Structure 1
Amino acid sequence: MFTGLVEEIGILERIVRQGEAMVLSIKASAIMDDVRIGDSIAVNGVCLTATRIGDGGFSVDVTPQTYRHTNLALLKPGSYINLERAMKANGRFGGHLVQGHADMTGSVRRIIKEQNAVLIDIAPDRPEMSAYIIPQGSVTVDGVSLTVADTDGECFRVSIIPHTLSETGLAGLKAGSVVNIECDIIGKYVHALLKPRESGTAESGTRGISLDMLTANGFA
C-alpha cells in the first residue's frame, strides 16, 4: 500500500528486454536506506518488487501484463521516474490509499499555466473508468496523489502546485505524454458493492445495497 506522495525522482539507468518482459535498473538514493530485496516500490505508480539492491540503485522485473497495461514500456535510459516505498503501518498518511495497481493509461491533452498552478487535462484510455474519477475526488497519476479539479466524462483535469512539480516527474509532461492512472480504491469498492449482483438462486434473485436492505438490517 502506498500514499501517492513521491519520495524521490529516480533515473532509469538500464533496460533489459526479452519480448514483453523487462528488467529495469533504477538509480536512486533517498529511498535506499532501508530497501531490501523483496520490498515493494511504486515505480511511476506501479507496484514492483525489488529484485536486486546495489550501490545507488535497485532493479525490478516487469511482466508482460504490466508491460502491456502501463507506460513502463515507453521508458528509455535517462527517464525520470517517481519512486515511493510501501507505507509503514505507523507512518503518517498524507495522500490517499494507493495500491500501485494501475487501472489504465491516459494521454495528456493539454497543459495550461494558471498563475501559480499548472492545469493538466488527461484523457483515460478506458472511458468506462471515468465513473471512478469525480471532481474533488482522488486520482493517482504516475504515482502522484492528486485531486481531480474537474471532469467532462472524456477528460479529467488536475491542478498542480509548484512544490509537486518540483518534487515529481510531472514537470516533464507535455501534450501527448502517456501516464499511468489509478482510480480511488474506495470509489471502486463502493461502486462494486452498490451494483446489483445475481445471486444464482431463483429464491433470492438479484441482490444489492438498497435503502430497504439497509433499513431491514438496522443501518438506516
Structure 2
Amino acid sequence: MFNGIVETIGSVSNLDVEQDCVHFAITPKIAFTDLKIGDSVAVNGVCLTVTAIYNDVFYVTAVPETLRLTNLSQLILGSQVNLERALRVTDRIGGHYVQGHVDAVGKIISIQADGKAALLVKISFPSALTPYIVNKGYIGLDGMSVTVVVAENTWFSVTLIPHTQQVTIVNQYQVGTEINIEVDILSKYVEKLMRAETCIQPLLA
C-alpha cells in the first residue's frame, strides 16, 4: 500500500528481457538505504517486488500482465520513473490510499499554464473508468496522488503545482505521453456494494 507521495525519481540503469518478463535495475536519485529484498516499491505507480539489491541499485521484475496494462513496457535505458516505498503503519497519509494496481493507461491531450507556475494537464482515458473519476476526487497518475479538477466522460484534468513538477517526472510530460492511472479504490467498493444492495443480509437478525 502506498499514498501517492513520490519520494524520489529513479533512472533505469539496466534492463534485461527474459522470455515475456522484463527485469529492471533502478537507481534512485535519493538512495533507499533501508530497502530489503521482498519489499514493495511503486515504480510509476506500479507495485513491484524488490528481487535484488546491489549498493544503491535495486532490481524489480515486470510480468507480461504488468507490461500489457501499464507504461512500464515503454521504459528504456535511462528512462526516469517515480518511486515510492510501501507505507509503514505509523506513516502519515499525505495523499490517498494507492494500491499500485494500475487500472488503465491514459494519454495527455493538452498541457497549459495555470497561473505563473502551475500546469493544467488534460488526460484522456478509457470509458470504462468514467464512473470512478469525479470532480475533486483523488486519482493516481504515475504513482502521484492528485486531485481531479474537471471530469468528463472521456477526459479529466488535474493541476500540477511547482513542487510536484520539481520532485517527479512531470517535467518529461508532453502531449501524447501515456500515464498510468489508478482510480480511488473506495469508489470500486461503493459500486460493488450498491450493485449487491438487494442481496445484502442484515448482520444482526
Check whether TM > 0.5.
yes
- 1:104-160 C-alpha deviation (Å, 9 max, x unpaired): 111111111121310111111x21111101010000000000000001111010001
Quote how far apart the aligned CAs of 1:30 are. Answer: 2.6
1:201 match: none
* Counterpart check, 1:111 vs 2:111: yes
Check the 8 A contact 2:21/2:63 in 1, yes or no: yes
Measured in 2, the distance between the counterparts of 1:86 and 1:31 equals: 15
Quote how far apart the aligned CAs of 1:70 are. Answer: 0.4
Check the 8 A contact 1:29/1:56 in 2, yes or no: no
Runs of 4+ in 1 over 3 A off after TM superposition: none
Matches within 5 A, 1:133-212: 133-196=133-196, 206-207=198-199
2:6 match: 6
Quote how far apart the aligned CAs of 1:93 are. Answer: 1.0
Letter in 2 for 1:121: K
1:200 match: none
For CA contacts below 8 A with separation 6 or more, give which structure has more relative contact order: 2
Measured in 2, the distance between the counterparts of 1:152 and 1:101 equals: 23
2:38 match: 38
Provide the TM-score with structure 1 as the length reference: 0.88
Letter in 2 for 1:171: N
Measured in 2, the distance between the counterparts of 1:129 and 1:174 equals: 22
Letter in 2 for 1:141: L
Check the 8 A contact 1:36/1:50 in 2, yes or no: yes
Provide the TM-score with structure 2 as the length reference: 0.94
2:91 match: 91
Measured in 2, the distance between the counterparts of 1:157 and 1:134 equals: 10
Quote how far apart the aligned CAs of 1:23 are. Answer: 0.1
1:130 match: 130
Measured in 1, the distance between the counterparts of 2:20 and 2:73 equals: 8
Stretches of structure 2 that go unaligned for 5 or more consecutive residues are none
Identity %: 39
Measured in 2, the distance between the counterparts of 1:49 and 1:57 equals: 14
- 1:156-206 C-alpha deviation (Å, 9 max, x unpaired): 100010000101011211011011000001111111111147xxxxxxxx5
Measured in 2, the distance between the counterparts of 1:42 and 1:153 equals: 28
Question: How many residues are aligned here?
Answer: 204
Letter in 2 for 1:26: I
Quote how far apart the aligned CAs of 1:207 are. Answer: 2.4
Letter in 1 for 2:9: I
Quote how far apart the aligned CAs of 1:19 are. Answer: 4.0
Stretches of structure 1 that go unaligned for 5 or more consecutive residues are 198-205
Check the 8 A contact 1:31/1:84 in 2, yes or no: no
Check the 8 A contact 2:8/2:84 in 1, yes or no: yes
Q: CA RMSD in A?
A: 1.8
Measured in 1, the distance between the counterparts of 2:99 and 2:65 equals: 16
Measured in 2, the distance between the counterparts of 1:150 and 1:170 equals: 19
**3-state DSSP of counterpart to 2:148:** strand
Letter in 1 for 2:57: G
Quote how far apart the aligned CAs of 1:18 are. Answer: 2.8
